[in-house]
Structure 1
Amino acid sequence: MTTKDDWKSFEELFEQHAGLSFEKQINFSEVIGSEPWQFDMGTGSISFGENLSFSVQIIGSLSFNDNSWMWGWANTKSGIPEHLLQKSNALKKLGEEKQIKELIEAHYSVDPNFEHKIGMIACGVFNANSYYCANYGQGTLVVIIDDKSIPKINMDNIERVMTSFPEFITTMDINHKSAFKNYLLDRGFQIKVEASKIEGLKNAKTITADFDTLDRLKNLNGTL
């Protein structure tokens, strides 16, 4: 049975979790709709409108002023309670074990969409229901949410892969082939990997993805 490879870089860690985390984000967006958000540091919760409230873990924040990332564990001036930084600290520890500078350095300049990469990684590593990038005007606060009231991904809805993955790769710069492989593994597929093709089998249904020499997705077909 094919399993995930041992990751050795930030990008490889991102590739391992991005696919399913993106689908979780679609799922969460359907739950909250267009309701405005409000964060309460005292209760450690984020609310959307009047009826939705979820406990969170703070991962870090992105500043729009200089497009820099700061980990929650490094943001000592904001007075973040330690119990809201458990996952942020856990990612730092993971970075120290693997010597991944992006997980260790406290504050540094980043490329566009970095906050979403961090959110997807955290969502996947901790098997959370979702992440959320809360735009507060001068920057974005990145949190992860794990609440029983959020519907779980329907792993038997194989058709969702056919729509979610093409949408995902239009929004993020990532190795398509590696991300697709890990996405199928997260969804419980049996997979066969070839030089330019990945075949996934689950519940007698098949998904086939073809890739070019740069590992970019060319075709995605399913026998559903």
Structure 2
Amino acid sequence: MKKYLVLLMLLTISLTSYGSQLQNETEVPAQFNTLFYVSSEPDGRLSRDIKESQRDNGVILTNLNTEQYQGKHPLQALIEQYGGSSFEKQMDLEDLIVGKPWQIDMDEQELVFDDDLLCSFQLLGTFSHSTKTWLWAWANEQSDLPIDVIEQSFELKKYGEKNNIDLFKKAKFDATEDDLPIFGLIASGMFNSSGYYVANFGSGTLVLTFNNKEIDQIHKKNDTHNRVASVIPQLIANYDVNHYAAIKHYLLAKNYQITFDDGSKLIATKGNKQITAEFDNLSRLIGLKG
């Protein structure tokens, strides 16, 4: 059975821990103790199989109360809605931050890459390598985190409460490292961030979104019609999503106007540029022009 979460190398950024002493730590390093608390008790299970979402497993609630999500795994629907633009931005980040040392300056509330790339950030949550559990930042009461750096985490909780998505409402649950980029991908697209970062510090991993004006200028420079057309096949090749829904949401996010849409053919225009996508009866992409 095809698994739901498929990772793309471009999106799974291999991060350099800040300080070689973190590599063999089994506990949360002392210098991070004021930043977060990693949960130690497994609680629930994050299913990554779409068909598993047809059962209430204590983490994924299937009776979503929005028409858009009916019959879908919540993460699948959210990737379809927000994944395209976020996926595109991560492609721009490969040369900027891959392999670069990083640190978090809590006094300035900045994520710093290579001592000279300063970004404001939002902490979404933490993953414990020993217990394989995820803890949302909004539920991290023991670390006394500044409210300014966990606002997006609270917004995800509110979104989960409004749309009846237990994944965002449950404080902690079993997860895998493969799940972490998906959390970042969705949040980055939802909040229009410059990008997301999966920061492995040895005994655990942080997932953050961040903003930087210089990076935004790079995104703007690369925002071309040809780029959009090239992102589409990569997006659907790396995520188990409804092709039609994911492509339509991505084009709308890129400010294209949908000028024709009958479910099997989609025509989107922006200025004098046009993209035409054709689909089979299972909504799979079978033709792309543009």
Q: TM-score range by the shorter chain?
A: 0.7 to 0.9
Q: Whole-Å Cα distance in 1 between the matches of residues 230 and 130 of structure 2?
A: 35
Q: Whole-Å Cα distance in 2 between the matches of residues 159 and 82 of structure 1?
A: 40
Alignment match, 2:234: 167
Structure 1 segments (4+ residues) deviating >6 Å:
none
SS at match of 2:238: coil
- Per the TM alignment, residue 200 of structure 1 is displaced from its structure 2 partner at its CA by 1.5
Alignment match, 1:181: 248
* Pair 79,144 (structure 1): closer, same or farther in 2 beyond 3 Å: same
SS at match of 1:35: coil
Gaps of 5+ in 2: 1-65
Q: Whole-Å Cα distance in 1 between the matches of residues 128 and 231 of structure 2?
A: 29
Q: Whole-Å Cα distance in 1 between the matches of residues 257 and 279 of structure 2?
A: 19
Alignment match, 1:215: 283
SS at match of 2:214: coil
Q: In structure 1, give the amino acid aligned to 2:185.
A: M
Conservation of the 8 A alpha-carbon contact between 2:118 and 2:212: no
Find the partner of 1:195 among 260, 263, 281: 263
Worse-superposed segment, 34-43 or 118-127? 34-43
* Pair 67,158 (structure 1): closer, same or farther in 2 beyond 3 Å: farther
Q: Is residue 127 from structure 1 mapped to residue 192 from structure 2 by the alignment?
A: yes
TM-score, L = length of structure 2 = 0.67
SS at match of 2:202: coil
Residue correspondence of structure 1 range 148-163 to structure 2 within 5 A: 148-152=213-217, 153-154=219-220, 157-163=224-230
Find the partner of 1:59 among 108, 121, 124: 124
Q: In structure 2, give the amino acid aligned to 1:142.
A: V
**CA offsets, 1:80-107, max 9 Å, x none?**
2222111111111121122111110111
Worse-superposed segment, 71-80 or 19-28? 71-80
Count matched residues: 218
Find the partner of 2:171 among 101, 106, 119: 106
Structure with larger Rg: 2
- Per the TM alignment, residue 141 of structure 1 is displaced from its structure 2 partner at its CA by 0.9
Superposed CA RMSD = 2.3
Q: Is residue 38 from structure 1 mapped to residue 106 from structure 2 by the alignment?
A: no
Decide which structure has greater strand share: 1
Worse-superposed segment, 91-100 or 57-66? 57-66
- Per the TM alignment, residue 194 of structure 1 is displaced from its structure 2 partner at its CA by 2.5
Q: Is residue 93 from structure 1 mapped to residue 158 from structure 2 by the alignment?
A: yes
Conservation of the 8 A alpha-carbon contact between 2:120 and 2:211: yes
Identity over the aligned pairs, expressed in percent? 38
